[in-house]
Amino acid sequence: MDTTFDCWKILDLPARSDERSVKRQYARLLKVTRPDEDPVAFQQLREAYERALQLAREGPEDCADGAAMKETLAAPLVARPAPFAGPVVRSAHELAADLLQRFDDNTVDDCWNEAIAKGIEANFEALLFVRCVNAPDAHPNLLRWGLETRQWLTPWQQVRPRHSDQEQLGHLLSMGLYRRLEQHMAAGDETRFIECLERHSRQGWLGDLARRQTLQKQVLDLFLEHKNWSPALLQQVRRLFDWAAAEAAVPIIDEQWHALLWRCEEKKWLDELRALARQGDQHPDPGATAAALFLTGSSGERLQARTATFTEADWQACEQLSEDFTKRFPDWPKRFPDHNPWFWKALVGHESPQHVMKRACAGMTITLGLGMMDRLQPDELPVMVIMSPLLILLGVLAAYMGKWLLEHWVTFTESFYDIDQRVSAWCARHQLTRDRRYLVIRNSVPMFVVAFTLWKWLGLLGVVTYVITLLLGKLPTRRAAPLDRQYRWRRPLQAIYRIAGLSPLQWLFGVVMVVVIVYVQQNMPGTLLTQGS
C-alpha cells in the first residue's frame, strides 16, 4: 500500500486514476523535472509513472473478478509460489542521466566509450551539450571535445539541441574568444594573439557566416580601441580573413576601415623612421639625422644639441620630413613641440660673418685715405702724413658708427625674418651659400653697401680689393691668433690682424692693392679703375 500511495502522491493524482490521466500528468511533470537538473527527482517520477500505469491497467480486471477474489480469499490458505518480479527496465534517458552524474571533465573519452557500450550515446551527448551551455568555462575539455570531435554548432553535428541552447553556446564561445584576444592585445603579445585567432578560425563552429562576421567585427574593434599593435599584425589578420584585396568586404563602415589602414601606414612609416635613426648611429646620414631630430623629445636643450652640427643636407632632410608629416599624416603635428611640424626652423638660428664691421670700417678708412691722397698735390704729401692720426681717429669713429648702424639694421630685418630664412634656404639649396644659417638679406646688404661705396670712391680696383679680401678670409689660417689679451700684446702683429679680423694674407694683399691704387691714381688720373661714375 505504501508503494501504491507513494506513486499517486508523486504524480499528484487520485488513487486508481485511469491510464490516460496518468500519461497526461506524467507529460506535464516532465516539463518541470529535467534529468540534467535533478536526476534523483526524475528517477522517482519515472518509477512512480511506471507503477501507476501498471495499477491503472490492472484496475478493471480486479473489478470484474471481485467475486472470484472473495472466494479465493475465503478458501483455506495453501502454499502458493511467490509472484515473479522481473528486473526494472530503465530508459536510455535515465541511464544517460546516471552516467552524467559520474562524469569527469578529465575523462571525456572514457565516459563517451561507456555511453557507446550501453547504447545511450545520443541521450548522453544531448545532456553533455546542455551542460556546456550552462557552464562552458567549467568544462574546457568537454567543450573542446564537442567542438573538434563531435562537430558541435556545425551542420555535421549528431546532437539536436534546442535552437536557443545552440545560439547561447555560440554566443558564449564568441565572448570567451573575444576576452582572450583582448588580453593578448592589451599585453602586446601579438604572437599569441595571431596564434589564438588562427587556431579558432579553423574550428567548424566559426564556419557559420553570422558567427564569423561577429568574430571579424570583434577583431576590428580591438584594433580600433588599442594602439599598441604593429602593422605586421594587421597584415596577418588581413591575410587570414582575406582582406588583402582593395575590394574586400569588411564588416565595418568605410570611414573606420580607412582610418585603420591609415594608422597602419602611419605606424609602418614611424617604425621605418626609428630604424633609420638607429642606423644613423653607425652610418651617419642626413635622413637618419633628421629622423633622430623628429623622434627626440620636446626638450629645447636636447633639440639644440642635436642641431648644433647640422649641415644644409640635414636641414633639407628635415624639410622633407615636415612635408611628409603635413601631407600624409595631418594628425601627427599635434605630437610635435607647439603642434608644429616645422618646429626645427626655430633651431636653425643665424650666422653672422666674423669681423664684418671691422673689415668694412678698415676698408672705409683706407678708402677715405686714398680718396684724399688722390686729391692732394705731390707737394702736399707732408700734410697727409701729419693728418694720418686724424684719419685713424676717423676710422675709429667710422667703426663705431658702422656698429651702431648695423645694430639698427639687424633690428629692422627682424620684421621680415621669415622671408630672409626662405631666401637663405633657397640660396643654400642651389649652393649659392654654404648653409641656410647665413641670412642672405641681413648679412649681404651691408656688404653690398660697403662695396658700392668703395666703387664710388675708388672705382673698380676698390671693389676688386674688397671682394678678393673677403674671399681670402674664407681660406683656413695656419696660425691662430692668441686668445689671451695680455699675451696678444706681446705679439703686436698678431694682435693687429686679430682685432681687425684680417689674416696675414689679407693684410699682404691689402697693402699691395693700396700701392697699386696709389700708383694708378698718380699716373692715370680720372680712370674708371680708381674713380667711380
The C-alpha cell at 286 is 642626413
CA–CA separation, 121 vs 115, rounded Å? Answer: 5
3-state secondary structure of 383: helix
Residue 67's pLDDT is: 41
pLDDT confidence bin for 78, thresholds 50/70/90: very low
Contacts (Cβ under 8 Å, ≥6 apart) of 351: 435, 437, 438, 439
DSSP character for 415?
Answer: G
Question: Is residue 500 scored above 80 in pLDDT?
Answer: no
Contacts (Cβ under 8 Å, ≥6 apart) of 355: 500, 501, 502
419 C-beta neighbours (distance < 10 Å), count: 11
CA atoms within 13 A of residue 182's CA, in its CB half-sphere: 13
Most confident segment among 181-185, 244-248, 320-324: 181-185
The C-alpha cell at 480 is 691662430
- Cell 596577418, residue located: 236
Give residue 67's identity as a one-letter amino acid code.
A
pLDDT confidence bin for 495, thresholds 50/70/90: low
CA–CA separation, 254 vs 259, rounded Å? Answer: 8
84 C-beta neighbours (distance < 10 Å), count: 5
Range of weakest confidence among 104-108, 116-120, 349-353: 349-353
CA–CA separation, 48 vs 85, rounded Å? Answer: 17
Question: Is residue 203 scored above 80 in pLDDT?
Answer: yes
Residue 369's pLDDT is: 58
Residue 184's pLDDT is: 94
Distance of CA 11 to the CA centre of its chain: 68
Look at the chain and count its residues: 533
Give residue 384's identity as a one-letter amino acid code.
M
Residue 5's pLDDT is: 45
CA–CA separation, 496 vs 481, rounded Å? Answer: 10
Determine the average pLDDT of the residues in 276-305. Answer: 77
Residue 452's pLDDT is: 84
CB-based contact 391:368 (threshold 8 Å): yes
Digit-coded pLDDT (tens) for 22-58: 878 887 887 777 776 777 777 788 788 888 888 877 7
The C-alpha cell at 51 is 507503477
The C-alpha cell at 37 is 537538473
Range of weakest confidence among 120-134, 217-231, 371-385, 482-496: 482-496
Distance of CA 317 to the CA centre of its chain: 23
Digit-coded pLDDT (tens) for 302-357: 777 777 778 888 888 888 888 887 777 776 666 666 667 777 777 777 766 555 55
| Helices (H), ranges, 65-107 | 66-74, 92-101
CA–CA separation, 221 vs 229, rounded Å? Answer: 13
pLDDT confidence bin for 487, thresholds 50/70/90: very low
Give residue 120's identity as a one-letter amino acid code.
I
- Biggest alpha carbon distance in the chain? 189
How large a percentage of the chain has pLDDT more than 90? 13
Distance of CA 83 to the CA centre of its chain: 86
CA–CA separation, 260 vs 280, rounded Å? Answer: 30
Contacts (Cβ under 8 Å, ≥6 apart) of 503: 472, 473, 475, 477, 497
To the nearest 10°, report the CA torsion of 257, 259, 263, 269.
100
Determine the average pLDDT of the residues in 403-431. Answer: 82
CA–CA separation, 238 vs 131, rounded Å? Answer: 36
- Cell 609602418, residue located: 268
CA–CA separation, 255 vs 283, rounded Å? Answer: 41
The C-alpha cell at 173 is 564561445
Query: How do the residues of the chain divide into helix, strand and coil, expressed in percent and rounded to 5?
Result: 70, 0, 30
**Using H for helix, E for strand and C for coil, what is the string for 262-313?**
HHHHHHHHHHHHHHHHHHHHHCCCHHHHHHHHHHCCCCHHHHHHHHCCCCHH
Question: Is residue 62 scored above 70 in pLDDT?
Answer: no
CA–CA separation, 17 vs 57, rounded Å? Answer: 10
pLDDT confidence bin for 437, thresholds 50/70/90: confident
Contacts (Cβ under 8 Å, ≥6 apart) of 364: 395, 398, 402, 450, 453
CB-based contact 177:200 (threshold 8 Å): yes
8 C-beta neighbours (distance < 10 Å), count: 20
Range of weakest confidence among 30-44, 126-140, 286-300, 358-372: 358-372
Cα–Cα nearest to 25, from 47, 4, 39, 8: 8
Cα–Cα nearest to 372, from 360, 358, 386: 386
Digit-coded pLDDT (tens) for 351-396: 665 555 555 555 555 565 555 555 555 555 566 566 667 766 766 6
205 C-beta neighbours (distance < 10 Å), count: 21
CA–CA separation, 306 vs 301, rounded Å? Answer: 9
- Long-range contacts of 158-167, Cβ-Cβ distance < 8 Å, separation of 24 or more: 158/122, 158/125, 159/122, 159/125, 159/126, 159/129, 160/126, 161/126, 161/129, 161/130, 161/133, 165/129, 165/130, 165/133
